[in-house]
Structure 1
Amino acid sequence: MSWLWAIIVGFVLGLIARAILPGKQHQPIWLSTLFGMVGAILGNAVAGWIGVAETPGIDWTRHLLQLAGAVLIVGLGDMLYKSVRGGTKQTT
C-alpha cells in the first residue's frame, strides 16, 4: 500500500510543482508524477539530514522540503526532457 501513497503524493507534488514553475512545461503528466516522487524522496532525505524528518504533529518542514525537491526535480527534468525531445516545434 505504500507504493500507492508514493504514486499519489508524487502526482500531487508533480502537479503543484508544475503550477509553481513559470512558463509551459513540456514533459507529460506521468513524467511529472515520477519527478514528483523523486522530489519527495529528495525532500525526505534532506529532512533526515537536518533532523526534522520525524516531529510531533504535522511535519510541515518535511512537506515543504518535499515540495521544494519536487519543484527542483520537475524544473530540471523539464529542461532535460526538452533537450532530449528537441525543444519546441517551430512552424515557418
Structure 2
Amino acid sequence: MIGFIVAGLVIGVLARLIKPGKQRLGLLATLILGLVGSVIGGTVANLLGTGDIWELNVLGFVVSVIAAVLLIGVAESIAQSRHRPAH
C-alpha cells in the first residue's frame, strides 16, 4: 500500500514536470491524479499482457505518466471553468 502511494506521488510529480505551464495543484491533488494515472497504466499493461495491474513494469509506468499528464490537464480545465466569472 505504501509503495502504491509512493509510486502515485512519483508519477504525479513526473506528470507535472512534463506538462507545460504552471499547475495550480496541491500535493494531495498531485498524489490523487498520480494514483489514478497509476491504476490506468497498470490496467492498460495488464490488458496488453505485460504484467499484473499492481506490478511495476516499463509499459505500465509510461502509460501511467501519460494518463496523469492528461488528468492534470482535465483537472486544470475544470478548475479554470469554476473560477471564470459568469457573463
Fold shared per TM-score above 0.5: yes
* Unmatched runs of 5 consecutive residues or more in structure 2: none
What is the TM-score with the length of structure 1 in the denominator? 0.76
Residue aligning to 2:3: 5
* Unmatched runs of 5 consecutive residues or more in structure 1: 88-92
What is the TM-score with the length of structure 2 in the denominator? 0.80
Matched residues in 2 for 1:79 and 1:59: separation? 30
**Do residues 52 (structure 1) and 50 (structure 2) align?**
yes
Runs in 1 of length 4+ with deviation above 4 angstroms?
A: none
Of all paired residues, the percent bearing the same amino acid is 28
Cα displacement (A) at 1:62: 1.7
Q: CA RMSD in A?
A: 1.7
CA deviation string 1:13-60 (max 9, x = no partner): 111101100111112121011000000001111111122125xxx721
Residue aligning to 1:16: 14
**Which is higher, the Rg of structure 1 or of structure 2?**
1
Secondary structure, aligned partner of 2:61:
helix
